[in-house]
Structure 1
């Protein structure tokens, strides 16, 4: 029991640190679960999804005042209503694909080989994007066009492949569609709220039978540590990305993916 709780605490920290940066939190958790022996076909993968609630609450706590302002603006502010509509439009593709392919995603794609390959490919893409001389037209996440919100949501579906990174897919697609780095990262935060909450609720509903006393305690520990780690990342990521870009995350992906592939080939 104690060992499982310690593993859950560590994995929760990893979830919180990696959820909002373009390195794939799910990919990291699956690899650690595989090499830690914490990848039971059912609960290990369910745990990976459920502890995301801690990261969701981290965003809500950091953006609480801003979210309250947006909620109040729904009554008399057309821009606030348009932004909420944009977030819902961006959320829909992932909601549909996730519901339709839930079994395939967890049964086939949650695979350490796929994770490692996706990490390496995604790292190369980030390095390429960081070198491009993109000319941003949008500097405020609340002012993207509605078709742009939909396109970002469609690209988010690529993150159904573990190792791709939800934040990476949304940030890169937003930049290609005309957003600057800061607004692209900020919209990724906003879109994470319904996307991760939906994944959490759906997975919990599908796996309620697994929530025994022991498993609930394990998820609770992972949830708490994910919240704490995620809070610090959300507070600092926008400023870092604005100044330094994505090269650090790209190299991290290449290192982790390369080490993972080497370990898998060696039969570890």
Structure 2
């Protein structure tokens, strides 16, 4: 599929923003869409990392009061509310395993086939968590203990497999532990800012020499579009979780996996 690079930037920006914080795997969607449009290689890798910064900015703005509060020195470590210490414990497992396995993940797991597997297994995990979760005891993100944040962090490790979904694994994991969908989603989104920022900077520093001034317009379109749609997606999804389960997203994942399977391996 041959498209103008600015059209590609617009489409992928919309896709990144709309899916980054939904439990459907933005990475999986980006890999599938990029392959389908023929947008692959070093330039595509730089672009996909760069526009994630737009999604990160959307979360920071949405939770700006919470971030400003946590950044005050007296709130770095608190037991009575979410603090930087809680975020650190939540980030720790995925950061450690992601750092140690970064090369393997990038070289062997970023393909349509592995994404399809991640979409299906992740969807099954979400359905299982909906049926088997413990009684809800944590209704607000400020009620999370540091131990619970660490435990949710171990569920986030699953998202290192493209297609599994960071929000899907953390919300389903939190739900299984007795954390409400909304509280788990809030924690997942807030925790995503530092962990995604670190990952993006790490990846960009490795491939920054691939950037050219001629790509400025394309990257700007992708960044701005991802920011707008990520913000709208967050607002909608948090309202959705107040009255609905993750089941619909699980079935959506199965449909996307089936379509991708037919597109890449049958036709």
Same fold (TM over 0.5): yes
Q: Which residue of 2 aligns with 1:240?
A: 240
Q: Provide TM-score, normalisation by structure 2.
A: 0.92
The more displaced of 185-194 and 118-127 is: 118-127
State the Cα RMSD in Å.
2.1
After superposition, residues 41-60 of structure 1 pair within 5 angstroms as 42-60=42-60
Partner deviation per Cα, 1:56-115 (whole Å, 9 max, x = no partner) = 100111111232233347359834786210101111222222222222211111011010
User: 1:234 offset after TM fit, Å?
Assistant: 1.3
The more displaced of 253-262 and 118-127 is: 118-127
User: 1:133 offset after TM fit, Å?
Assistant: 5.6
Go from structure 1 to structure 2 and tell me whether the alpha carbon gap of 1:27 and 1:79 turns closer, same or farther (over 3 Å shift). same
Tell me how many residue pairs correspond in the alignment. Answer: 266
Give the 3-state SS of the residue equivalent to 2:40 in structure 1: coil
Unaligned segments of structure 2, at least 5 residues: none
The more displaced of 90-99 and 160-169 is: 90-99
Q: Which residue of 1 aligns with 2:30?
A: 29
Preserved contact between residue 50 and residue 203 of structure 1 (Cα < 8 Å): no
Q: Which residue of 1 aligns with 2:193?
A: 193
Q: Which residue of 2 aligns with 1:9?
A: 10
Preserved contact between residue 73 and residue 81 of structure 1 (Cα < 8 Å): no
Q: Using the alignment, how far apart are the partners of 2:248 and 2:14 within structure 1?
A: 19
Preserved contact between residue 16 and residue 55 of structure 1 (Cα < 8 Å): yes
After superposition, residues 121-160 of structure 1 pair within 5 angstroms as 121-132=121-132, 134-160=134-160
Q: Using the alignment, how far apart are the partners of 1:104 and 1:128 within structure 2?
A: 28
Q: Which residue of 2 aligns with 1:214?
A: 214
The more displaced of 47-56 and 16-25 is: 47-56
Preserved contact between residue 16 and residue 226 of structure 1 (Cα < 8 Å): yes
Give the 3-state SS of the residue equivalent to 1:135 in structure 2: coil
Q: Does 1:90 align with 2:110?
A: no
User: 1:221 offset after TM fit, Å?
Assistant: 1.8
